[in-house]
Amino acid sequence: MKSQKQNEYEISPFTLAIVPDYQDNVVNGSIALEEKNEYKLRQSPRKMVDDACKYFGSSLRGRQEGTKGVCGITHKSPIAIDPHSGMFFFPTTSPNNPTCAWIAHSHIARIHPLDKGRTVIEFKTGQEIIVAVSHGSMMNQIQRTAQFRYKLTERLHYKRNSDQEQVAEPFI
């Protein structure tokens, strides 16, 4: 995998995860993981996700409020950075925690416990990361994200299909 240091990075459908970058046991920026590249960034994972949400017309706070409105999740909320391109991410811990990583739901192949309080996330690309979160908590986050993704996608498809007859040029 190719590692590159960058000042700017835009989360995209190719992003597998945004994880904290540790140096001397202190979080110092983040690492954006993609299938063939790894980008070291100065911004925290939270800032990276907030900037991505803003790029698509909202904010991390706005996306969290949206999740609450769709399915009532209020803590460690999964978010849709951009539902039209399938970018659904979830936090591994409280987003306020500097050790929080953000995982792209659609890229997960499987997870398995490593030891007490740590879980291995295997992506469809074959890449793996270890997060300091219990297997049960990770399973819960994956299931909540799937529930949110399903409910939001249903709303978007229903709304799109019901409005097409009323709009001169349907937005896709």
Looking at residue 157, what is its pLDDT? 85
Beta strands 37-41 and 2-5 are parallel
Residue 170's CB is within 10 A of a number of other CB atoms, namely 11
List, edge to edge, every strand of the sheet that includes 87-91.
2-5, 37-41, 26-34, 15-23, 102-104, 87-91, 79-82
* Maximal CA-CA distance, the chain: 59
Q: Is 122 helix (H, G, I), strand (E, B) or coil?
A: strand
CA 33/CA 3 separation, integer angstroms: 9
Per-residue pLDDT of the chain (172 residues; tens, 9 = 90+): 556 666 789 999 999 999 999 888 888 899 999 999 999 999 999 999 999 999 999 999 999 999 999 999 999 999 999 999 999 999 999 999 999 999 999 999 999 999 999 999 999 999 999 999 999 999 999 999 999 999 999 998 876 565 555 555 655 5
Structure tokens at 99: 């050790």
Q: What is the DSSP letter of 28?
A: E
pTM, full prediction: 0.88
